A and B are shown apart, each in its own frame.
Chain A
């Protein structure tokens, strides 16, 4: 096991989805620390705060009240301080337009929310493992595109 933990944030307004997400990471044998936020405003307030610990991977729901995932994505990509964060779109939609649009806007990963808990664990493990490879092997993050 690597000694450094992997810091993960999820922004999602659906309470059940947040719960499944944290439960999945609890069950995965990975050294992770997970924080969740209920909407885009809460998330961006945190990321912009002085003492924010920026995550290795940020999971963004697309449809959130107050500030949606695309708005968060645009703000993050416009902020050079946050350029190292890998962005995973985490959505119920899997329309080709949504997928391509978010990739073009700078997302690294697009995940269609899986319907089973088992599948969710598998998908999250894959994302974190792949991100870890980019992180530890100095691979070019500009070329990090993954769809699950």
Chain B
């Protein structure tokens, strides 16, 4: 005997999703096809279990894998900026693609798609934020900071600071110290 069956992928997937999420006791809401909102923070073991359960049906968690990879890119950049040893003589594009095992083009497109900025810009933002932090919390001069962050010259750092924020490093320091003295007067 032969059976002829017709099936609806949407219904199957939805049913599988519901069953698996309920089995793992995860509170969820199905938003649209291909989109599920988890209503509470899911511990990583549970998340892994869900991922495995869904994978066995050929269902893949897409968005989250993207954001996990973006987070890895960010972590690698932060490590590169804050850890002086790792920056030596390696281009950031080479460093990132070697460390994460994807082509730089792929990483770069993915990053821009998810974060509203580019990898290049993100690196600059991290360096400038680190510069601000060092200016406010240490006695290092801008020249020393430029050296520490591997800038070719203090002028380069100073220009990049101005381009990224619209203000000069010294104006930044002046404004923050005025804010602090006002806050002190209030207390």
Contact = CB atoms under 8 A, between A and B. Distances in A.
Say if A and B assemble together. yes
B133 A133 contact: no
B116 A128 contact: yes
B122 interface: yes
Interface residues of B, number: 24
A120 to B, nearest CB: 16
A81 interface: no
Contact of A132 (B115, B166, B179): B115
B117 A100 contact: no
A96 B84 CA distance: 37
Given A2-B114, A103-B175, A132-B115, A146 B165 contact: yes
B133 A129 contact: no
Given A104-B175, A104-B179, A146-B166, A140 B113 contact: no
Nearest to A104: B178
Contacts of B22: none
Contacts of A128: 116
A69 interface: no
A2 B74 CA distance: 15
A40 interface: no
B129 A148 contact: no
A143 B125 contact: no
B115 A136 contact: yes
B122 A133 contact: yes
B176 interface: yes
B116 to A, nearest CB: 4
Interface string A126-148: 00111011001101101101111
Contacts of B117: 129, 132-133
User: Most chain-B Cβ atoms within 10 A of its Cβ — which of A129, A132, A145, A146?
Assistant: A145
Nearest to B166: A147
Interface in B40-70: 63
B113 A143 contact: no
Given A2-B116, A103-B175, A139 B167 contact: no
A106 interface: yes
B172 interface: yes
Contacts of A142: 176
A1 interface: yes
Interface of B: 63, 74, 113-117, 122, 125, 129, 132-133, 136, 165-167, 171-172, 174-176, 178-179, 182
